[in-house]
Chain A
């Protein structure tokens, strides 16, 4: 029996923090790729500590719904899941290349395949592009448009910037958008000066975050100048210093994220049948009016 466990941060304060996790779990459940799909959280329930004991299957894939490799994926999750013998060298990663480690979880005395985070998987690049399609309502968006991929800077986690740059580079190489930039919240180039970094009249701004919350709903909109105060709200697009900014909100809410979760499990050996194709199709953006 094949089981998927999606582990995410969750929140004590924000009721919507877990919404993307649940939504992607539902998409994957509907695909029929796994006999069961469970969710576990750091700040909600079931907690990381107890989620594995709710799992019935014997072929268990744990996929962290996190943006980058770092404190949570390397220390907190393995410790709380009680992965026996875990060491970050199991992933043999340069900060972007964690794939999976197969270890016994002492909590249930069963092997689990502990996967790298969704945010650094190459399929995540497609989700950022899909997010741009969603927010513009245009499945062919690109011509005449710039794309800004935004995240924390290195102050919190050096791998966070690596993930942003990795995806920005990949999208730039495809030549679909006029220009692609990686911008940061707490270091240069800063998202506050977004119009200065782009020549295009239209720029899609995609924050590389899992869930909408303080950073994506308050910090970034105010820093970029979409609004004076987040409580006033803003339009999409909103014009700031002559640039029309299409603010996409957290990339993690994009339905195609379910595909990246599946890719992680597939890389770790899960048998998914045609679920990948199904999920890519069912999460597709409808063509504009």
Chain B
């Protein structure tokens, strides 16, 4: 499960005294594109406005045509800086200037992308010096089953390596590498056993691949390709305006073949929705943290999970399954009489458990101690099912037996 704080092995304390263990702020050059962007930004300013960096600002010198001011300036000239002087001053402060450039010009304004990339390096909490030191060692974050490692080049550019969290220790040469975030559409399509993944946030992302060196925008695109809309919803939640649609309103909205689902809510409690959530929304089935409940007033009794990103309404997989259950649950219970040995009863329970927990492939062919072992199941069928497949020879519909 994703850890919302940076890896303690790579994070650095915010400020405080420097110890010998603490990584140093890396040597950073000021690339010409960052400097040009500062000049452009200054060009757009009114004479008394400033471009603000961490701890200092620059602007036009109102008293000298074509000159610049730097404030506060320390030992530098405060006013009347030539372009060359300004470059020298900014080059001395290259980490803070390249940090401004990275977020203001490369990442841009779009809320989810900006918030996500700033969250990765705690840009709203830690100083540039602290972050650049941490980035030089690599900052690791988890997002679902993704492991994202952020670093910084000697020109202050962010680079992101993304791979499966379970491939953390695998040499990159042993992984299939990609540089186009849209390649991930193929990665997410099938699980490790080649089965289609209808739910992108199911914890069944296959391993064996890496995007070793993405820029900020591509890193965001990759995360949104693997887990669509999760960043947008996480961002809304952080801003305090996640629009949650609970079970009742979601089912009332359905039409066509799904219109029947609202009839499953009969004003007799919400136990059936507890079962749905336990079946479909548990962390073992989906990495989203369920925030929707039965309705605004009525919480479900099952846990919503620990995911970093929220689930704001029942998804299409839940809606489709709910349609099936609405039909099945409209049936009345009947009493059937079978004879089972105690072990046979337990075996039926073991078979259901094995299917529900997705353990079928783990049960070895000759492991007849397991109730859900194939030979055990075939033996049970040979012994207890009649030619029509009826358990204990008892027809499902009593009329069929007459």
- State whether B253 touches A45 (Cβ < 8 A): no
Residue ID in chain B nearest A49 by CB atoms: B313
Separation of A43 and B315 alpha carbons in the complex (Å):
9
In the bound complex, do residue A43 and residue B198 qualify as a contact, i.e. CB atoms below 8 Å apart? yes
Chain A residues near B201: list those with CB within 8 A: 45
Contacts of B113 in A (CB 8 A): 56
In the complex, the answer to whether B316 meets A43 with C-beta atoms within 8 Å is yes
- Check if A44 sits within 8 Å of B313, measured CB to CB: no
**Which of B200, B228, B256, B313 interacts with A54 by CB under 8 Å?**
B228
Instruction: Report the separation of the CA atoms of residues A79 and B256 in the bound assembly, to the nearest whole angstrom.
Output: 13
From known contacts A22-B185, A42-B316, A46-B228, infer whether A12 and B233 are also in contact, taking CB-CB under 8 Å.
no
Query: Is the pair B182, A54 in contact by a Cβ cutoff of 8 Å?
Result: no
Q: Is A218 an interface residue (CB 8 A)?
A: no
Q: With A56-B110, A79-B253 given, is the CB distance from A12 to B232 under 8 Å?
A: no
User: In the complex the two chains form, what is the Cα distance from A26 to B181 in whole Å?
Assistant: 12
We find that the number of chain A residues with CB closer than 8 angstroms to chain B is 24
A6-65 residues at the B interface, CB under 8 angstroms: 11-15, 22, 26, 42-47, 49-51, 53-54, 56
Does A214 belong to the interface (CB within 8 Å)?
A: no
Q: A12-B317, A22-B185 are in contact. Are A51 and B229 (CB under 8 A)?
A: yes
- CB of B182 within 8 A of CB of A47, answer no
Chain B contact residue count (CB 8 A cutoff): 28
Query: Does any Cβ of A come within 8 Å of B332's Cβ?
Result: no
Binary flags per residue of B281-319, CB closer than 8 Å to A gives 1, else 0: 000000000000000000000000000000011011100
Residue of A whose beta carbon sits closest to that of B256: A71
- Residue of B200, B232, B313 near A53 (CB, 8 A) is B232
A residues 62-90 touching B (CB-CB < 8 Å): 71, 75-76, 79
- B window 352-398: CB within 8 A of A: none
Tell me if B336 counts as interface (CB < 8 A to partner A): no
Q: Give bound CA distance, A22 to B312, whole Å.
A: 25
Given contacts A43-B198, A51-B229, contact A26 B317 (CB under 8 A): no
Contacting residues, chain B, for A43 (C-beta < 8 A): 198, 316, 320
Q: Is A54 a contact partner of B255 (Cβ separation < 8 A)?
A: no
Known: A12-B320, A26-B182, A56-B110. A45 touches B229 (CB 8 A): yes
Question: Which residues of B sit under 8 angstroms from A15, Cβ to Cβ?
Answer: 189-190, 196
Q: Which residues of B contact A12 (CB under 8 A)?
A: 198, 316-317, 320
Docked-complex contact B256 and A50, CB < 8 angstroms: no
With a CB–CB cut-off of 8 A, which chain A residues contact B179? Answer: none
Taking CB as reference atom, which chain B residue is nearest A14?
B196
Flag if A45 contacts B255 (CB, 8 Å).
no
Report whether A53 and B255 are in contact in the complex, using a CB–CB cutoff of 8 Å: no
Smallest CB separation, B202 vs chain A (Å): 11
Q: At the interface, yes or no: B161 with Cβ under 8 Å from chain A?
A: no
Choice from A54, A71, A76, A79 contacting B232 with Cβ under 8 Å = A54
Q: Is the CB of B198 within 8 A of A54?
A: no
Cβ of A206 to closest chain B Cβ, rounded Å: 27
> Shortest beta-carbon distance, A98 to chain B, in Å?
19
Tell me the nearest residue of chain B to A79, going by C-beta: B253
- Asked if B229 contacts A50 (CB within 8 A), the reply is yes
A45-B110 CB under 8 A given contacts A12-B316, A12-B317:
no
What is the CA–CA distance of A11 and B190 in the complex, to the nearest angstrom?
Answer: 13
Question: CB-nearest residue of chain A relative to B243?
Answer: A107
Given contacts A26-B182, A47-B316, contact A75 B255 (CB under 8 A): yes
Q: Is the CB of B196 within 8 A of A13?
A: yes
Q: In the docked arrangement, what's the CA distance between A282 and B204, Å? A: 37
> Is there contact, CB below 8 Å, between B198 and A46?
no
Q: Are A53's CB and B315's CB within 8 A?
A: no
Asked if B228 and A45 make an inter-chain contact with CB atoms under 8 angstroms apart, the answer reads: yes
- Interface 0/1 of B307-350, CB less than 8 Å to A: 00000110111001000000000000000000000000000000
Query: Is the Cβ of A13 less than 8 Å from the Cβ of B198?
Result: yes
Which residues of A have CB within 8 Å of B185?
22
A47 partner residues in chain B, CB cutoff 8 A: 229, 315-316
B236 at the interface (CB under 8 A from A): yes
Confirm or deny: B224 has a beta carbon within 8 angstroms of a beta carbon on chain A. yes
Q: How far does the alpha carbon of A107 sit from the alpha carbon of B241 in the complex, in Å?
A: 12
Complex Cα gap A22–B182 (Å): 9
Distance A185 CA – B327 CA, assembled complex (angstroms): 28
Taking CB atoms, residues of chain B closer than 8 Å to A45 are: 199-201, 228-229, 315
Residues of B within 8 A of A107 (CB): 243
Which chain B residues (183-224) contact chain A, with CB distance < 8 Å? 185, 189-190, 196, 198-201, 224
Question: What is the chain B residue whose CB lies nearest that of A75?
Answer: B255
Output the least CB separation between B374 and chain A (Å).
24
The 3 closest A-B pairs by CB, nearest first: A46-B228, A50-B229, A12-B198
Q: Interface residues, chain B, CB within 8 Å of chain A?
A: 110, 112-113, 182, 185, 189-190, 196, 198-201, 224, 228-229, 232-233, 236, 243, 253, 255-256, 312-313, 315-317, 320
Identify 7 residue pairs between A and B in the complex whose beta-carbon atoms are under 8 Å apart, listed by A's number.
A43-B198, A43-B320, A44-B198, A45-B201, A50-B229, A50-B233, A54-B229
